[in-house]
Chain A
């Protein structure tokens, strides 16, 4: 067990998957010679050569299209979209081709395709480089979406995504790349669709994922001083998501906050809340509260962006509201 950067865990997952299976290859902008825009693919070109680490032109539709075609012919491509914001250009390949193939061909086609896409703000990168768009893909039948919050889950979910027979979008928060956390010496795959309790608590369940897990844990430290113990539940997988674990936590705490960095309106939180208002109705002892970014493009200015991004203090406020 050692402390490694999140980025290192991503890199190791790709390396190990490519070692384990010759059909796995990497494609994306600057993933080869440059080692990746965030260095997630560093060293792969040197180890596996240009035939399996492919520097693509600046054309996201092509990257996705190549990946879809390769997957359909038995390869396991891992495509990288430099910023999740640019995935708009690949939407037809992902939504209309990758997601539909299995159903449209009567189960004869399987697309073991992974798309890695860094999301999130905090880098003063402006409205076209800071978005969290995971809800778009969670809304499309045929796609799976995961968003790991730490090194072990990043490793484990990428390995599961690559092994999965269907398209999986792996969303990585940019602010987590440099963060260190524990990675076992012999890291294991993490099943898609299983949440985890990052911190147990009796008073309020806070459902979250990605970089907001860290904020929720900070909020938990603040609230514990007030005698409030929140349970931080890290979804890890957004589609499918671990409804059973959320409702069982709600059945213990009877109060629910759902927090994500993405815009609050029409987001992942809305889905979680709607399901809990249905299957968890009789467990609720307070209104369910969402924490998310305001309905506005992410600002460029550092101070404005800080005000825009939800953080621990927003979670603390939401938790207090559920306890009113």
Chain B
């Protein structure tokens, strides 16, 4: 597909190696607007980061094709531009996209809205579903031959369960309010659905004695009160050390290939008012505990301010999600693709265990649940990693 056969248009840019779609979070232009090079055109959210997209050249917006909050595959048109020539911006974005598309598929997804005839090519089933859902097919990208819209292209809107959910309140006389999710909520929903559908998860759980860890933490915080080391910080550092010692655990599965990383970057699942963010603590295996803690605190507050940059969220093979502060005893988490593992952390539990002589002995334990992508990891790998992590946590002063 050459750029000369396309109508001039803005398309969803590919902003990262593994990006396949983005949420059009916000339009800064509308139909008929004249824009100049450097003007902000729109905001795309991907990997839970907002990216401001600027114009590289001057132009005029003809029509906006997607609404704020819409999820758009990479390379799909977002707006048409006035004028017969392809703008430099479009050419630039299109060439990026073409490179990406040619790498994955011989028949790229096409947008079927034909501006000349207005005819939409779709299967009968897709038409019926769209009618039931109230979906405008002119806004749907068809993935079939010649751009034909199939029922799958309606995404979750074509899901019979979703249909049922829509019918439920009225049919059963229930009082329910329909709320349009925020772009961030929608992005999270799509990501976790895709993760749970496409990534074959398995889980491995271990209770880890943390009495020594508590002493270690108290000692450091007494010595350097400014840093305020948390359990999460200790876990990030310990997981970094464990994975650096077992480098084959630091891998992800992408497009039937294994990517092996040479430093351990660890995501920290962070709750914000606007949904979850996963900032990444870089090189957690080699950097000191103090550096990791400072980094984690900075990133956590940036997440709260919603000011994380693309560099602060991409990459890594593992994340940590700690719900211990709420008293939950354990968490079985969903992997955050393209990462291949996530560690769920529960709260500290006091309980008696038999000592070697069989007498009750007071333990302080946290429950660690490691979710793994079975495409790249096997059970034994995961068990070894968890055992290594447990050993580090039991002897923190030696290993951290």
**Contacting pair B144 A283 (CB below 8 A):** no
Task: Fill in one digit per residue for B122-158: 1 if any A CB lies within 8 Å of its CB, else 0.
Answer: 0111111000000000000000110000111000000
Hey, which chain A residues are within 8 Å of B127, CB to CB? 282
A281 contacts B by Cβ under 8 Å: yes
**Contacting pair A285 B126 (CB below 8 A):** yes
**Contacting pair A284 B145 (CB below 8 A):** no
A278 to chain B minimum Cβ distance, whole angstroms, is: 11
Hey, which chain B residues are within 8 Å of A285, CB to CB? 123-126, 150-152
Interface on chain B toward A: helix, strand, loop, or mixed SS?
helix
Task: Fill in one digit per residue for A282-300: 1 if any B CB lies within 8 Å of its CB, else 0.
Answer: 1111100000000000000
**Contacting pair A286 B144 (CB below 8 A):** yes
Closest to B151 in A: A285
A144 contacts B by Cβ under 8 Å: no
**Contacting pair B145 A282 (CB below 8 A):** no
A126 to chain B minimum Cβ distance, whole angstroms, is: 39
Scan residues 249-281 of chain A and give those whose CB is less than 8 A from a CB of chain B: 254, 281
**Contacting pair B144 A284 (CB below 8 A):** no
Q: CA separation between A284 and B128, bound complex, in Å? A: 10
A104 contacts B by Cβ under 8 Å: no
**Contacting pair A282 B144 (CB below 8 A):** no
Scan residues 91-129 of chain B and give those whose CB is less than 8 A from a CB of chain A: 123-128
**Contacting pair A286 B128 (CB below 8 A):** no
How many residues on chain B are close to A (CB under 8 Å)?
11
Closest to A284 in B: B124
Q: CA separation between A234 and B225, bound complex, in Å? A: 77
A225 contacts B by Cβ under 8 Å: no
Q: CA separation between A284 and B127, bound complex, in Å? A: 10
Scan residues 223-241 of chain A and give those whose CB is less than 8 A from a CB of chain B: none
Interface on chain A toward B: helix, strand, loop, or mixed SS?
loop
A303 contacts B by Cβ under 8 Å: no
Hey, which chain A residues are within 8 Å of B150, CB to CB? 285-286
Q: CA separation between A285 and B128, bound complex, in Å? A: 10
B380 to chain A minimum Cβ distance, whole angstroms, is: 27
A279 to chain B minimum Cβ distance, whole angstroms, is: 12
A20 contacts B by Cβ under 8 Å: no
Hey, which chain A residues are within 8 Å of B123, CB to CB? 254, 284-286
Q: CA separation between A285 and B127, bound complex, in Å? A: 9
A324 contacts B by Cβ under 8 Å: yes
A122 to chain B minimum Cβ distance, whole angstroms, is: 33
Closest to A282 in B: B128
Q: CA separation between A285 and B122, bound complex, in Å? A: 8
Q: Which of B123, B127, B151 has the most CB of A within 10 A?
A: B123
A256 to chain B minimum Cβ distance, whole angstroms, is: 12
Q: CA separation between A254 and B145, bound complex, in Å? A: 16
**Contacting pair B145 A283 (CB below 8 A):** no
Q: CA separation between A284 and B123, bound complex, in Å? A: 6
Closest to A283 in B: B125
Closest to B128 in A: A282
Hey, which chain A residues are within 8 Å of B126, CB to CB? 285
Q: CA separation between A64 and B285, bound complex, in Å? A: 89
Hey, which chain B residues are within 8 Å of A324, CB to CB? 144-145
Given A285-B150, A285-B151, A286-B150, A254:B144 Cβ within 8 A: no
B207 to chain A minimum Cβ distance, whole angstroms, is: 38
Hey, which chain B residues are within 8 Å of A281, CB to CB? 124
Hey, which chain A residues are within 8 Å of B128, CB to CB? 282
B345 to chain A minimum Cβ distance, whole angstroms, is: 35
Q: CA separation between A283 and B125, bound complex, in Å? A: 5
Hey, which chain B residues are within 8 Å of A286, CB to CB? 123, 144, 150
Closest to B126 in A: A285
B200 to chain A minimum Cβ distance, whole angstroms, is: 13
Scan residues 139-189 of chain B and give those whose CB is less than 8 A from a CB of chain A: 144-145, 150-152
Q: CA separation between A282 and B130, bound complex, in Å? A: 11
Q: CA separation between A285 and B150, bound complex, in Å? A: 6
Q: Which of A284, A285, A324 has the most CB of B within 10 A?
A: A285
Q: CA separation between A286 and B150, bound complex, in Å? A: 8
Hey, which chain B residues are within 8 Å of A284, CB to CB? 123-125
Q: CA separation between A212 and B42, bound complex, in Å? A: 56
Q: CA separation between A195 and B126, bound complex, in Å? A: 28
Hey, which chain A residues are within 8 Å of B124, CB to CB? 281-285
Closest to B152 in A: A285
Hey, which chain A residues are within 8 Å of B152, CB to CB? 285
Q: CA separation between A286 and B146, bound complex, in Å? A: 12
B128 to chain A minimum Cβ distance, whole angstroms, is: 4
Q: CA separation between A324 and B123, bound complex, in Å? A: 12
A51 to chain B minimum Cβ distance, whole angstroms, is: 59
Hey, which chain A residues are within 8 Å of B145, CB to CB? 324
Q: CA separation between A284 and B145, bound complex, in Å? A: 15
- 9 A-B pairs besides A281-B124, A282-B128, A285-B125 with CB distance below 8 A are A254-B125, A254-B151, A282-B125, A283-B124, A284-B125, A285-B126, A285-B152, A286-B144, A324-B145
The 6 A-B pairs of least Cβ separation, nearest first, read: A285-B125, A282-B128, A285-B123, A284-B124, A285-B151, A281-B124
Using CB atoms and an 8 Å cutoff, list the residues of chain A in contact with chain B: 254, 281-286, 324
5 pairs from A and B in contact (CB 8 Å cutoff): A281-B124, A283-B125, A284-B125, A285-B124, A285-B151
